[in-house]
């Protein structure tokens, strides 16, 4: 794999842990730039899910949050921001953080095929399979290439009913099974004035922040249709939703699409 070949030395030889103190491995320095490595230039057959784990208390995270905002317009990607909570004790409570995000990241740490071993910020996880420092555009591009090569051909199609505001979600194709289907409620953008901690005094913008996530069905490899009513989509604070098909609660993501 392209990404693994480049990154196994830098990230792979670490113990399973969550570090949350300034200067420790919880906040590796990122921020590589360069338009030649811009992940937006790729063309993919089906959307790839990219989850960004960041914190308002982490001074290395804003470049990753900016990258998430840049990628939001790419139709080949489903961008999900998952602010974590383990930086909160260092002087600033993340106003968007969810403990569920922290738990998912800790579960990822021991399960990612590449780039796991620990939880840290900023981190990007591609299709629940590949982890990397969330601000590194070149590594993200390579991880997206690897994810594209492994796509299972699972298709999510969505049809809005003419009356009632309901949506029909249809999933089919591909050999991988079983999997769970989740509805992820997202807040498309929030700007936060940081009052303390490493980013004190900064105004930071976040994109597609998880507000809620819940199980809506199961998929066993055969075609399945799920109906989402208008009430199902009425999540406070959410103005966007994504469908995520995942093998287990913290397993690989085999399909994703915005609703």
Tens digits of residue pLDDT in 46-84: 799 999 999 999 999 999 999 999 999 999 999 999 999
How high is the pLDDT of residue 175? 65
Domain-wise residue ranges, the chain: 2-31+44-258
How high is the pLDDT of residue 117? 85
Single pTM value for the model: 0.83
List, for the chain, all residue ranges whose pLDDT scores fall below the cut of 70: 1-45, 174-176
- Spatial strand order of the sheet with 167-172 comes to 155-160, 167-172, 224-228
């Amino acid at each position: 794999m392209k990404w693994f070949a480049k990154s196994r030395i830098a990230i792979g030889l670490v113990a399973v842990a969550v570090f949350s103190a300034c200067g420790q491995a919880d906040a590796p320095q990122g921020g590589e730039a360069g338009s030649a490595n811009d992940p937006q230039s790729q063309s993919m057959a089906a959307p790839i899910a990219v989850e960004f784990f960041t914190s308002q208390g982490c001074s290395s995270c804003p470049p990753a949050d900016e990258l998430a905002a840049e990628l939001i317009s790419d139709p080949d990607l489903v961008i999900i921001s998952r602010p974590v909570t383990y930086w909160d004790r260092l002087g600033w409570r993340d106003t968007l953080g969810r403990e569920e995000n922290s738990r998912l990241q800790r579960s990822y740490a021991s399960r990612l095929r590449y780039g796991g071993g620990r939880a840290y910020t900023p981190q990007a996880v591609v299709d629940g399979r590949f982890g990397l420092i969330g601000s590194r555009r070149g590594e993200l591009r390579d991880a997206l290439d690897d994810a594209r090569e492994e796509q299972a051909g699972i298709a999510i199609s969505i049809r809005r009913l003419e009356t009632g505001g309901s949506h029909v979600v249809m999933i089919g194709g591909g050999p991988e099974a079983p999997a769970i289907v989740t509805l992820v409620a997202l807040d498309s953008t929030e700007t936060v004035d940081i009052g303390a901690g490493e980013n004190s005094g900064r105004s930071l913008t976040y994109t597609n922040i998880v507000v809620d996530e819940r199980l809506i069905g199961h998929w066993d490899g055969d075609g399945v249709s799920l109906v989402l009513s208008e009430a199902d989509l009425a999540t406070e604070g959410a103005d966007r939703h994504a469908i995520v098909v995942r093998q287990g609660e913290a397993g690989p993501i085999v399909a994703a699409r915005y609703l």
